[in-house]
Amino acid sequence: MTAPITQDVLTLPRKAPEGLKPNLIGLTRPQLRAALVDAGTPEKQARMREGQIWQWLYHWGVRDFASMTNLSKDYRAFLEQTFDIRVPAIVTRQVSADGTRKYLLRIDGGHEVETVYIPEEGRGTLCISSQVGCTLTCSFCHTGTQKLVRNLTAAEIVGQVMVARDDLAEWSVPGQPRKEERLISNVVLMGMGEPLYNFDNVRDAMQIVMDGEGISLSRRRITLSTSGIVPEIARTAEEIGCLLAISFHATTDAVRDRLVPVNKKWNIDTLLGALRDYPRLSNSERITFEYVMLKGVNDSDEDARRLVRLIRGIPAKINLIPFNEWPGAPYQRSDWDRIEAFADIIFKAGYASPIRTPRGEDIMAACGQLKSATERGRKSASQIAAEAAKG
C-alpha cells in the first residue's frame, strides 16, 4: 500500500502542435461548438454547424471540408483555413493467417502506436491503445518494458477507430443503402497503455465513439481494461458507463505485487471493494476478470479456488489468457491441461470461464505483445528478468 508509484505523464495540450491548425477530430460536441464560435461562427448558427460537421466527420467519415456539401462554399473555405481534420497515419498494416490485422500508426511527434482488428464469427473487435508505452511495469507485459512516452490525445484515440474503419471500408456511403453488418462491432481498450491514467482523453474519445449520430457504438460494446487504478473506477462507471475488465492475474498480494506492481498502491482488497460498486453505478453487465496463465506462478488449483472465493458477490466472468510469449519474456505459458483444470474449477463454481484464443500471434498482435519497435528507452532483457524476480 505504501510503495510510491509515480505518474510522470506528459499530456499534450489541446492546442495543436506548432505549425499545425487545430484539429476538429477528438473534440466532444460542446468542444466542437466552442471551437467554431471562437473562430468566428455566429452563436446562432453554431449548433446547426456542429451537427452538420459532426455527421460528416463521424457518420460519413470524410476528411476534407470541400466534401461537406450542405455547408456554403464560403463557410467551407473558412473551415479549411482555420481547422484541420487529422487522424493517425498508417505506417504498416500486417494481416495474420487468421485474419487479424495489426496497424502501426504514426501520431504527432513521430511516435508510433498499435491497433489490432480481430474478426470473429458474427463480430469484429478493435483493440485500441491509450498511451505510447505505459508507466506501469507489469512483468509479463511487453508494453510494460517500454517507457511511457506520452498519453494519446482524444483525437488519436478516436482516430484509431476511424483509421480502421477506413481500412475496412466501413463508413456509410451517401446514396448507398445503410450497411447493416458492423465490421467493428466492439471496441476494447486493451492495447498499449493504462487507459485510466489517461482518463479525460479516453472518456472524450469514447463519448465520440458512442454518439448516436456518428460511429454509434453502444456503451455495452466498449470494454475498458485496467490494471486497477482504484480512484478512477467509479468515474469510469459514471462518466463513460462502458464495460470493465480488470487485469487481476493473481490471488495473493505477494504474487500480484510482482506481476502487476500497481498492486502495491491499491491491493487486492482495495480493488475488490471498488469493483463491488461498479455494476450498480454504471448499470452495466458483469465485470471481466482477466487472468494471464503463467506456468508455475499463478496457475495452481489453489489459485483457482482462491480466485473464486475472492470475487464472490461480484457479477463476474473470468477470462483466462494463455500467456503470449515475447522475446526475452521471463515467464512461460501454462500447459494446456493446467489451463483446462483451472478453468474447470472456476466453471464448477458457477462462472463462465472462457479461455481466450490467442489471435494474430504470427504478427505479434496478441494481447500484451504490442510495443512499438521504434521507441527508445526500452529496458533490457536482464532488467525485465530482475524486476520479475523481485518480490
Q: How many residues bind ligand SAH (CB under 6 A)?
A: 19
Task: Give yes or no for a contact between 122 and 180, defined as CB atoms under 8 angstroms apart.
Answer: no
298 is an interface residue for ligand SAH by CB under 6 A: no
Segment interacting with ligand SF4 (CB under 6 A) among 56-64, 76-84, 112-120, 139-147: 139-147
Q: How open is the CA angle 99-113-15, to the nearest 5 degrees? A: 135
* Closest to ligand SAH by CB, 131 or 282: 131
Phi, psi of 368 (to 5 degrees): 80, 5
In sequence order, what DSSP letters do the residues of 202-227 get, joined into one string? HHHHHHHHH-TTTT---GGGEEEEES
Residue 114 a catalytic site member: yes
Segment interacting with ligand SF4 (CB under 6 A) among 64-72, 84-92, 134-142, 230-238: 134-142
Site for ligand SF4 in 221-240 (CB under 6 A): 227
Q: Which of 141, 230, 297, 346 binds ligand SAH (CB under 6 A)?
A: 141
Whole-angstrom Cα Rg for the chain: 22
What is the distance between the alpha carbons of residues 320 and 340, in angstroms, rounded to a whole number?
10
* Annotated active-site residue in 114, 170, 194, 290: 114
Q: Check residue 307 and give left, alpha or beta (phi > 0: left; psi -120 to 50: alpha).
A: alpha
Which single residue is written with the C-alpha cell 480512484? 231
CB of 208 to ligand SAH, least distance (A): 20
Q: Which of 138, 162, 293, 329 binds ligand SF4 (CB under 6 A)?
A: 138
136 is an interface residue for ligand SF4 by CB under 6 A: yes
Q: Which of 135, 153, 225, 334 binds ligand SAH (CB under 6 A)?
A: 225
Q: Which of 134, 184, 222, 274 binds ligand SF4 (CB under 6 A)?
A: 134
* Closest to ligand SF4 by CB, 153 or 198: 198
139 is an interface residue for ligand SF4 by CB under 6 A: no
Q: How many residues bind ligand SF4 (CB under 6 A)?
A: 11
For residue 323, the partner it binds in ligand SAH, ligand SF4, none, with Cβ less than 5 to 8 A by kind, is: ligand SAH
3-state secondary structure string across 133-200:
CCCCCCCCCCHHHECCCEECCHHHHHHHHHHHHHHCCCCCCCCCCCCCCCCCCEEEECCCCCHHHCHH
User: Cα dihedral angle (363, 367, 368, 372), rounded to 10 degrees?
Assistant: 40
For residue 324, the partner it binds in ligand SAH, ligand SF4, none, with Cβ less than 5 to 8 A by kind, is: ligand SAH
Catalytic annotation, residues: 114, 367
